[in-house]
Amino acid sequence: MRPLLTKGDTIMYDHRRLGRELDLFDGDPLMGAGLPFWLPDGAAVRMALEDYVRDVERRNGYRHVYSPIMGKRELYEISGHWDHYRDDMYPPMAVGGEQVVLRPSLCPHHALIYRARGRSYRDLPLRLAELGGMYRSELSGVLGGLTRVRAIQLNDAHIFCTAEQAVEEARAALELIAAAHAAMGIKPVRHRLSLPGASGKYVAVPGLWERAGEMLREVLHDVEYEAVEGEAAFYGPKIDIQIADNLGRESTLSTVQIDLYQPARFDLEYTGPDGARHRPVMVHRSIVGSVERAVAHLIEVHGGAFPAWLAPVQAVVLPLGEDEVAFADSVVSRCAGLGLRAELAGPEKGSLGARIREARLAPYQLIIGSREVAAGEVSIRLRDGRKLAALPVGEALARIGEITSRRESGLW
Binding residues for Zn ion, rule: CB under 5 A, are 107, 284
Long-range CB pairs of 29-34, under 8 A, 24+ apart, other chains included: 32/150, 33/140, 33/143, 33/150, 34/138, 34/140, 34/143, 34/148, 34/149, 34/150, 34/151
**Is the CB of 119 or the CB of 284 nearer to Zn ion?**
284
**Is the CB of 124 or the CB of 313 nearer to Zn ion?**
124
CA atoms within 13 A on the CB side of 328: 26
Give Rg (Cα) of the chain.
24
**Is the CB of 53 or the CB of 107 nearer to Zn ion?**
107
Per the DSSP assignment, residues forming a β-bridge with 153 are 133
**Is the CB of 107 or the CB of 345 nearer to Zn ion?**
107
DSSP state of 11: E
**Is the CB of 160 or the CB of 270 nearer to Zn ion?**
160
Say if CB 325 and CB 346 are below 8 A apart: yes
**Least Å from the CB of residue 49 to Zn ion:** 20
Beta strands of 115-219 (E only): which ranges? 126-135, 151-161, 190-195
Quick one: CA torsion of 361, 366, 369, 372, rounded to 10 degrees?
A: 170
**Least Å from the CB of residue 14 to Zn ion:** 31
**Least Å from the CB of residue 231 to Zn ion:** 16
**Least Å from the CB of residue 163 to Zn ion:** 18
**Is the CB of 107 or the CB of 159 nearer to Zn ion?**
107
**Is the CB of 134 or the CB of 331 nearer to Zn ion?**
134
**Is the CB of 136 or the CB of 284 nearer to Zn ion?**
284
From the list 128, 45, 88, 24, the residue with the least C-alpha distance to 309 is 45
**Least Å from the CB of residue 79 to Zn ion:** 9
Enumerate residues 6+ apart whose C-beta is below 8 A from 97.
none
**Least Å from the CB of residue 230 to Zn ion:** 20
**Least Å from the CB of residue 295 to Zn ion:** 21
**Is the CB of 67 or the CB of 330 nearer to Zn ion?**
67
**Least Å from the CB of residue 208 to Zn ion:** 16
Exposure class string for 290-325: b at 16+ Cβ within 10 A, else e? bbbbbbbbbbbbbbbbbbbbbbbbbbbbbbbeeebb
Cα distance between residue 65 and residue 53, in whole Å? 14
Cα distance between residue 333 and residue 237, in whole Å? 51
**Least Å from the CB of residue 85 to Zn ion:** 12
**Least Å from the CB of residue 386 to Zn ion:** 44
**Is the CB of 89 or the CB of 366 nearer to Zn ion?**
89
Say if CB 242 and CB 252 are below 8 A apart: yes
Q: CA angle 227-244-290, nearest 5°?
A: 90
Cα→Cα distances 43→23, 37, 254, 312, Å = 10, 9, 21, 8
